[in-house]
Structure 1
Amino acid sequence: MCGILGLFHRVSSPRPVLADQLVANLLHRGPDDHGAYSDDHVQFGHTRLSIIDLTKAGHQPMVSHQGRYVVTYNGEIYNHIELRAELALLGSLFSTRSDTEVLLETYHVWGRDCVKKFVGMFAFVIWDTQAKEIFIARDRCGEKPFFYHFNGEQFVFASELKGLLPLLPERPLLDPIIVDQYLHYQYVPEPRTLLQGIQKLAAGHSMLITLADWKAEPKQYWSVETTSFPIQPQQNKGDILTQIKDTFESAVKMTLRADVPVGVALSGGIDSSAIAAFAQKNTQQPLHAFCVGYPGRPQYDERAQARELATSLGMIVHEVELPVDSFVDFFPKLVDIMDEPIADPAAFGHYSVPKAAADQGIKVLLSGIGGDEVFWGYSYVTEAVALNQLMLDRPALYKFAHWLGSVGGREFLLRVAHYPHAHPAIRRCADVLQKLGDVRQPPDQYLYYLLHPDFSGAYLVASQYYGDAMGAATRETLFRPTASRKSEQQRIPSAIIKLLFETWLTSNCLSLGDRVGMAVGVETRMPFLDVNLIEKVMALRAYHPDNALGQKAWLRAALKGVLPDQVLARPKAGFQPPIKEWLWGVIKKYGDSLHDGQLVKAGIINANKIHLLLGEKATQDWHTLFLAYKLVLLETWYQRVVHA
């Protein structure tokens, strides 16, 4: 795991090696080593967190044996052992044990198709000194970040904005349209960023830039919706569950490959518990488990459940307690760490786990991120599948619901849906009709994000506080990240999973997970995002739909006998910090920065409305409170990261 940065220049000229202070901006991502490479067209920088082959032989940027290719690479190729053996049979020679050398040789043999051979997480740039072109690629799910700026003269890239911005001639401006998206989604859906002229290479994409045509056009090489794993349609339930269990255990074993200590981020939930069980089963020494809790051990504190399981597995348990004041005081530093605004209130807890691991000398941490996305862990996602299938199957019902919504019936339906004395069937019918008839939903898109209460809530309050610059923010631009061509009924489940992967998973969960881990020199690995597991599950459900079977039905059944029954029966709790106390504490301490800050100067928020936003209403209404927190975070980020 590392930090990468560099420039690709269109005009040939002797280039100096990147200055140490520029490379040092990403030293937190790779505190063990750093290096640089330059020639007439490229300048590469690299900071290394040594995980595989801890010797100097793994130093980067690395030049291939042939001398033709130069790479700067961030990530881990978990199947580097298998690829090394395959390449050796084809005549490749190796002088190190590093996966970086395997990556270079894989590119030498298979070219741009190398990405299809990799099992792992990665973002890399390879410079072909003969063809005068660079090849860029990012892993399938987007576990590793890649920011870039492209113009007529240069292609500039880095793992984080903190590494990219100092390479630019001037600081870019905020993009009001993307600010609008951030305030609704709580993150910025890739490939856009909040800064004009700066993009992300989207997950599952690669890009080739040559001196001959000088174009930066990303091409998708993988999508969760279009997997091609071979499956027998007539498989029974037992076969399905066995395949899931075996494939997941193989994924955990693969992520245990490291030349440094490995630990597990453990909650009381099924995802991290399954990882812990398989990880300890396949490790000779006791693994370290890290769990988070809160003062007074409230009902949602899962430390007791996590400790009970870890102890039964023979693991060493470490507990982290998170008082409210710690979050408020640490907030500015947390903004620095996140590198881009991600308003997930769980961010502090997610940081505290790798920090505790680093304090114990653990450099690799296994995480349960991805389990909810692969196995239907969110109720609004399964509801999206059901409602979109209903719209397709009952077009008359959809038209009737839309008519009700268009004549002001939504408020009435909402009241009926939440009226406690109404018959459950009537409440359910009213709830379905008001959601199907939501006139805010673009008619050519799947009903999706409006089913999430935070997105829908932001829709109600955000525009009340907007300034003049937000006039270009429209419904069309807001829903652009979820634009998806509607398909036949049987493909709706995979299409909804695709939306989940390409928005929430990549831009919130994985972006946050990468930053908080790399801030303390800890590599986070996610077995649930193993490509073989994802493709097998997606292929199986094409013939055996599981979205209506209950939350994580397949996973719970596949883990029967692996985990105790009480763990398998435990409902999803999620990460539940004392959110309102945390957010209100931040607003009280840092909210005054909004009054004469960049958001007011840029016309993004109305200066005359700030006192309302920071006042009593925020204590009474969750959506106003959350909006205020997002804006304080955004203002703090702009001051500390963009204009640092």
Structure 2
Amino acid sequence: MCGIVGILGSGAQDHPKLPEALSIICHRGPDDSGIHSDSHVALGHVRLSILDLSPLGHQPMTYAEGRYVTVFNGEVYNFIELRAELENLGHRFRSRSDTEVLLASYSQWGVDCLQKLRGMFAFAIWDTRDKRLFLARDRCGEKPLVYRLTKDRLIFASELKALVQLDSVEPEFDPEAVDLYFHYQFVPEPRTPLKGVFKLPAGHYMVVDSESMQAQTKCYWRFEDAPAIHGDPVPAIREELDRSIELTLRSDVPVGVALSGGIDSSAIAALAAPKHQDVLRAFSIGYPGRPAQDERGMAEELAKKLGLPFHDVELDTQELVDFFPTLVRVMDDPIADIAAFGHYMVTRAAADQGVKVMLTGIGGDELFWGYYWLPASVQQTMQRKQGAQQWSPPFMVPFAKKFLSSRAGRFAASSPRMPKMISSAMRSLEAIATLDPARADYAVFYDLIQDFNDMIKLSQRELYTPEFKAAIPPDNAISPYRLDMKGTDNIQHAICRLLFDTWLVSNCLNLGDKVSMASSVETRLPLLDYRLVEIAMGARKTQEDHNIGPKAWFKEALKDVLSDEVLNRPKKGFTPPVEDWIHSLIGRYQELLLDGWLLRLGVLDDNHLKRHLSVYATSWPSAFLLYKALLLELWWRQVVLAEHPEV
């Protein structure tokens, strides 16, 4: 895994800011760096050496007597098999790197090489003969690629920090993107917070002609196209999961695993331990004095059973508060997921132990219905799509609330998390009653979550200046989950696609890449192997699994390696003490908001801001809004302006 930057068109050759842009992302590749420049293009690369640690893996790398030049970020996990296939076709290789295999694949098959690649990647290949630049991103969006395209120039980079350094356009907030951020806690791709700056979507490629500067962007993979699977998909899920873990363990450097007490990371650790030839280290995090959120005991117990050296990190509130401005710069995008701190610290602990590759369980909840509200999303969307006039009758809400209230004590005794879940369900029932059945072309999605609805109400009344609000369409907040059925009537596919395109890619994968690379650690995600995704999606063409229990297929596939106790544990996943942390951050940094760029640029209304500051201690909606505003303020200072405020 590495970092890349590039310029095509006007001013590319010997661009004075290219070395500085590379230095900004040197954490992504501390082992080596390089630049290729000619009259049309400039390509920069910083390298984190994972495969073939020799100088033969240096980038930018050329192939076919210099015709093709690439800068590549990521891993092609099946490079050994592809190399053998290419050698049979007459190709010869100098190195043992997957980068050279990528170049040979493009030389052999052109853009169709993407169908051959199994891995995570974002790369650019410059064709010196045809004067075309080819950029591509992996199927699920594990690796980032941001760009700006104007009439005479394309600039691109792995991170916004580097892109801003190269950009000659004055940075400006995109009001619609900012509004989406305040609702979702991230900006859904392909947008970014900056007007005119975009992300190449997952599963897409772009070809840019250097003469005309015309770009063609195409989708090369959709999981809706997965072949249908009839019958029990569990054996195929297990077989592909085993294969995915074998491939993601390929490395010439030490490998670790991020281990919580949950199903996903436990499964990866249990399946990886017997397959890995060297020491596989396990890393976990905990919160002193907070037993309900501390999973270290469960993680250490499994690590001991598997024979894995175990390392843990304790996180405390003061450490987060002191580190927060740096964390915002590390994340690169404004992502108001406070769990980022834990993910960063666990990769830093891995780096301290000499581990450069870490397997994580990201993707399991999104692929196998791990969130409590997803079954309701599928069911309600089905009913809405079928045109039912009373798909959520108002009279059902008081009935359901009465039922939950009467049994609250019994439910609470079954789990310490149950009271909070009951409270959330009660609030969601109220939200469901207000949904508009006329919106047949929209999924019933995040509006099942009360925090989302609270944010809609606040943004409509108590957030923006009148001028900023006027630039935002009325339905902007729900625009990302307008149904795109893509020629199918499969609601399970539609909801899963929405979850992938919003929460998974723009929050989880984006955050995971940035915080791990800040520690110069490559995270790999076995549960997002595209063939595993296609099996789940193919099975959903013939059968429903959203209503048979969370992760039913996944749990069944793991019965021989994980105990019933582990398989039936409630979801946590490094869950931090969110409310305490957020209140502490606001208390420390609120002065930045009162004299900040969000006020100067006319984004937030001064009176609304002061009101939220006066009530946040007793109002969670106000506290969460202020946290997102604070993070966005720091993001503008740290990432866009490259300031380091006195805080």
Report the TM-score, using the length of structure 1 for normalisation: 0.93
Q: 2:305, 2:385 → 1: CA distance?
A: 49
- C-alpha displacement at 1:472, in angstroms? 2.0
Cα distance in 1, alignment partners of residues 456 and 244 from structure 2: 40
Q: In the alignment, which residue of structure 1 is the partner of 2:260? A: 267
Opposite residue 196 of structure 2, the aligned amino acid is: G
* Match 2:452 to one of 452, 455, 460: 455
Q: Which residue of 1 aligns with 2:412?
A: none
1:257 matched to 2:254: no
What does residue 502 of structure 2 align with? 503
- CA distance in structure 1 between the aligned counterparts of 2:438 and 2:351, rounded to whole angstroms: 45
In the TM superposition, residue 160 of structure 1 has moved relative to its aligned partner by 0.3
- Per the alignment, residue 641 of structure 2 pairs with 643
Distance 1:19 1:190, change over 3 A: closer
1:77 maps to: 76
For 1:247, the aligned partner's letter is: E
Aligned to 1:446: 443
Contact 1:171 1:642 (8 Å CA) reproduced = no
What per-residue deviation string (whole Å, max 9, x for no partner) do you get for residues 418-447 of structure 1? 44676789x999976961651398442111
Alignment-mate amino acid for residue 306 of structure 1: A
C-alpha contact (below 8 Å) 1:17/1:38 kept by paired residues: no
Counterpart Cα distance in 1 of 2:404 and 2:340: 39
Alpha-carbon contact 2:182-2:455 (below 8 Å) kept: yes
How do residues 226-241 of structure 1 correspond to structure 2 at under 5 angstroms? 226-228=225-227, 231=229, 233=230, 235=231, 237=232, 240-241=233-234
Give the conservation status (yes or no) of the 8 Å contact 1:441–1:447. no
Contact 1:17-1:43 at 8 Å conserved across structures: no
Contact 2:359 2:525 in 1 (8 A): yes
Unaligned runs of 5+ in 1: 405-411
Q: How does 1:76-95 map to 2 (within 5 A)?
A: 76-95=75-94
Match runs of 1:191-210 below 5 Å = 191-210=190-209
Match of 1:467 in 2: 465
Structure 2 match to 1:122: 121
Q: Secondary structure at the match of 1:550?
A: coil
Q: CA deviation at 1:226?
A: 2.4
Aligned-partner residue type, residue 368 of structure 1: G
Distance, in Å, in 2 between the alignment partners of 1:19 and 1:201 is 21
Please give the alpha-carbon distance, in whole angstroms, between the structure 2 residues aligned to 1:388 and 1:47.
Answer: 45
Q: Which residue matches 1:312?
A: 305
CA distance in 2, matches of 1:368, 1:310: 15
Aligned to 1:619: 617
Q: Distance in 2 between matches of 1:487 and 1:116?
A: 20
Question: Which deviations, in whole Å up to 9, do the C-alpha atoms of 1:115-168 show, x marking residues without a partner?
Answer: 111100000111111111101100011100001011111100000011111111
Find the residue that maps to 1:155 and give its secondary structure.
strand
Partner Cα distance (1:607, 1:640) in 2: 22
Identity of aligned residues (%): 46
1:603 matched residue in structure 2: 602
Contact 1:134 1:209 in 2 (8 A): yes
**What is aligned with 1:46?**
45
Q: Deviations over 1:405-464 (max 9, x none)?
A: xxxxxxx87666444676789x99997696165139844211112112322221122331
Q: Is the 8 A contact 1:470 1:603 kept in 2?
A: no
**SS at structure 2 position matched to 1:620:** coil
1:584 has 2:577 as partner: no
Instruction: Name the structure 2 match of 1:408.
Output: none
Change (3 A) 1:41 1:489: closer
Q: CA deviation at 1:176?
A: 1.4
Query: How far apart in 2 are the matches of 1:614 and 1:430?
Result: 24
> What is the DSSP-based 3-state SS (H/G/I as helix, E as strand, rest coil) of the residue aligned with 2:36?
strand
Q: 1:19 Cα deviation (Å)?
A: 4.8
Deviation per CA, 1:393-412: give whole Å up to 9, x if none.
571323x74xx6xxxxxxx8
Instruction: Report SS of the residue matched to 1:87.
Output: helix
Please show how residues 422-571 of structure 1 align to structure 2 within 5 Å: 435=432, 437-439=434-436, 442-463=439-460, 464-468=462-466, 469-486=468-485, 491-571=490-570
Shifted more, 278-287 versus 34-43: the winner is 278-287
1:372 and 2:365 matched: yes
2:276 aligned with 1:278, yes or no?
Answer: no
Gap change, CA 1:35 and 1:488, over 3 Å in 2: closer
For 1:559 and 1:106, locate their aligned partners in 2 and report how far apart those are by CA, in whole Å.
Answer: 35
Could you list the per-position Cα deviations for residues 318-357 of structure 1 after superposition, in whole angstroms to 9, with x for gaps in the alignment? 0111111111111001001001100002110111110100
Q: Secondary structure at the residue paired with 1:196?
A: coil
Cα distance, 1:543–1:47 mapped onto 2, change above 3 Å: same
Preserved contact between residue 555 and residue 567 of structure 2 (Cα < 8 Å): yes
TM score, norm. by length of structure 2: 0.92
Aligned partner of 1:132 in structure 2 is 131
Whole-angstrom distance in 2 between the partners of 1:433 and 1:460: 14
SS in 2 for 1:340: coil
Query: Once structures 1 and 2 are overlaid, which stretch shifts more, 619-628 or 449-458?
Result: 449-458
Match of 2:285 in 1: 292
User: Which letter maps to 1:87?
Assistant: L
Alignment deviations for residues 77-128 of structure 1 (CA, whole Å, 9 cap, x no partner): 0000010011111111100000000000000011011111110000011111
Q: Distance in 2 between matches of 1:642 and 1:146?
A: 17
- CA separation of 1:70/1:118 partners in 2, compared to 1, >3 Å: closer, same or farther? same
* Contact kept? 1:7, 1:154, Cα under 8 Å: yes
Shift of 1:10: 5.2
Q: Structure 2 counterpart of 1:120, which letter?
A: G
Taking the TM superposition and a 5 Å limit, the aligned residue runs for 1:103-114 are 103-114=102-113
Farther off after superposition, 618-627 or 323-332 = 618-627
Q: Deviations over 1:23-78 (max 9, x none)?
A: 21110100000000000000111000000000010000111133111101100000
Aligned counterparts of 1:465 and 1:268: Cα–Cα separation in 2: 39
1-side partners of 2:348 and 2:104: how far apart? 35
The equivalent of 2:9 in structure 1 is 9
Match status 1:164 vs 2:163: yes
Query: What SS class does the counterpart of residue 188 from structure 1 fall into?
Result: coil
Residues 397 and 430, structure 2, Cα contact 8 Å, conserved in 1: no
| 8 A Cα contact 2:263 2:567, kept in partner | yes
Separation in 1, partners of 2:483, 2:471: 22
Shift in Å, 1:216: 2.6
Contact 1:376 1:552 in 2 (8 A): yes
Say whether 1:361 aligns with 2:359. Answer: no
TM-superposed deviation, 1:607: 1.0
Partner amino acid, structure 2, of 1:455? F
AA aligned opposite 1:452: I
Instruction: Indicate conservation of the 8 Å contact 2:134/2:206, yes or no.
Output: yes
Q: Deviations over 1:226-254 (max 9, x none)?
A: 223x63x2x3x3xx222111110110111
Residue 418 of structure 2 corresponds to none
1:565-592 CA-partner distances (Å, limit 9, x unpaired): 2111212234321111111111111111
How many Å separate the matches in 2 of 1:95 and 1:486? 46
Please name the residue that 1:630 is paired with.
Answer: 628
Distance 1:17 1:444, change over 3 A: same
Deviations 1:492-520 (A, max 9, x none): 00110000000000000000000000001
1:413 to 1:542, Cα distance in 2 relative to 1, 3 A:
closer
Task: Name the SS for the 2:168 alignment partner.
Answer: coil
Contact 1:52-1:258 at 8 Å conserved across structures: yes
CA deviation string 1:369-414 (max 9, x = no partner): 000011110112221001112334571323x74xx6xxxxxxx876
Identify the range of structure 1 (40-49 vs 63-72) with the bigger mean alpha-carbon deviation. Answer: 63-72
Find the partner of 1:331 among 304, 310, 324: 324
State the distance in 2 between where 1:575 and 1:419 align.
Answer: 33
Give 1:6's aligned amino acid.
G
SS at match of 2:358: strand
Indicate if the aligned counterparts of 2:13 and 2:41 stay in contact, CA closer than 8 A: no
Distance 1:581 1:434, change over 3 A: closer
Q: 1:67/1:511 Cα in 2 relative to 1: closer, same or farther (>3 Å)? A: same
Query: Which amino acid is the alignment partner of residue 475 of structure 2?
Result: E
CA distance change for structure 1 residues 354 and 421 in 2, over 3 Å: closer, same or farther?
Answer: closer
Kindly report which structure 2 residues correspond to 1:54-65, keeping only aligned pairs within 5 A, or say none.
54-65=53-64
